[in-house]
Each structure stands twice: as C-alpha cells, then as structure tokens.
Homo-oligomer: A and B are copies of this chain.
Amino acid sequence: MTLDAKVTAGLLVIGDEILSGRTKDKNIGTIADHLTSIGIALSEVRVVADVEEAIVEALNALRHRYTYVFTTGGIGPTHDDITADAVAKAFGVTIDVDPRAVAIMKPAYEKRGIELNAARLRMARIPAGADLVVNDVSVAPGFRIGNVIVMAGVPSIMESMLISATATLETGAKVLSASIVVAHAEGEIAELFAAHQAAWPQVAMGSYPAFKDGQYSTDLVLRATDAGALSSASHTLAEKLAASGFSFVKKI
C-alpha cells in the first residue's frame, strides 16, 4: 500500500549508460531520500535511453500525473546530450542559447581558463519560459519549466541542482518511519503483521527479509505522516510480537 500524498513526484533517468550497465545509477536513491525528507512522495521512476521520442513520451506521461517531475542526465556538451531539446519538444516551446545561462557560465569559465566554445554553449540552451537551476559544482545550469526540474546526471552536480531547486518546491507532510527488526523469517510473522496492517490503515507497513551468518531476520517498516498514529502502531506491534513469543534484533 502507499500513503495518500498531497505532493507527489516522478523521476525520469535519461541515459544509454544506465541501460547498458556501463554506469550504475546512484541518483534514484539520493533523490528518493531527499524527497522523502522534505515531504514529497516519489511515486514512479522511469529510465529511458538517449532517444528523443522515448524522453518526450515518458516526460509527458509523468508530468501530467505527478506534482513534479525530476530528470537526470543528458544535459552536457556532447552530441548524445539531447535532454534539453527533448524537454522543449515535450512542452512545445522553442529552445535557444539563453543569455542568463551565458552570463553565469562566461565569467566562471574565464576564471578557470576554460574556453566557452560552441560545444559548451550547448549547455546554455534552455527552453523558452524555463527558470535556471544553478549548480555550484560545474556552473552550467539545469532548469525548471512548468513542473519539470531538469538536472545533470553526474551525482555531485545533480545533488547541487537538487538543493537549488528545493527552495522553489511546494512540500507536503513528511512521511515518518519506524522500524522493528525481529530475529525470524518473514514467513513466521506474516500472519500477525497482516492483521496489524489491517487494523492500522493509515500506517503503511512493509516487511524486508535478510539472511546473514545463518540467521534470518525481518525488518518491519511502518510509515505514516501522523507521529501519534505511527508511535501507537509501532508500539502495539512490538507488544503483539513479544506476546506471541517472537524475539527481537531491534525493538523500535
């Protein structure tokens, strides 16, 4: 089950290198943690190739469905970086070198002795109507158009842009979580746990098994926006488990 969320998000990861296995994505986890921490429910992720039609189709599906859509990847200076153009196409707007982006990039590049050549000017191409999303790492900006926030794929640059963009976001009630780890396999506690979920519909409960050093354990995770409900649900669960003779690795 999923908690009802006021503010939701989709994430679109763009890049052949993720699908081929060449690069192992780290951004999904980082963005998931960040959005959870500010009360935005990440509800769907898609990974697509560096192919215009694929990007446009996925972006249009996600942006009409969620409060926000974040994208990562494909905004560098090389020919395989086609995200900005695909986003412009999805929104039906023009795209050109943006004087605001050049104004940020030119002095920073001069200071570093980097030439603002034609390839690098590609990174200043911003769809009409977008706001810039600054980054402190490599200077070339991301952007926000409508409810879509377009970020780099390199994790350190993506993180800088994510922090920049956060100030402009509406956020919802933060989802709080509690965890009880029992020294038993999932199959032992499943019946008790299902009955507890049924009794607490406002708390989302999930179970995650582990097997280490010959010992089964199960992490029971409870999530809710209401701190009181979360506390009551997790304490009564711990009591029920103890009363049924289960032993704990971690008791709340």
A interface list, Cβ under 8 A from B: 1-2, 13, 15-25, 28-29, 32-36, 41-51, 54, 76-80, 114-115, 117-120, 122-123, 138, 154, 175, 177, 185-191, 193-194, 197-198, 204-209, 211, 221, 223
Contact = CB atoms under 8 A, between A and B. Distances in A.
B42 A45 contact: no
Interface of A is mostly: mixed
Contacts of A20: 32, 36, 42, 175, 177, 223
A43 B20 CA distance: 9
A29 B33 contact: no
28 contacts: A1-B50, A1-B51, A1-B80, A2-B50, A16-B223, A17-B206, A17-B208, A19-B42, A19-B45, A20-B32, A20-B42, A21-B32, A21-B35, A22-B208, A23-B208, A24-B28, A28-B47, A43-B49, A44-B47, A45-B46, A77-B190, A78-B194, A78-B206, A79-B190, A79-B198, A119-B186, A119-B188, A123-B187
A172 to B, nearest CB: 14
A185 to B, nearest CB: 7
B76 A186 contact: yes
Given A51-B1, A120-B187, A43 B28 contact: no
Nearest to A185: B114
Contact of A190 (B18, B24, B119, B194): B119
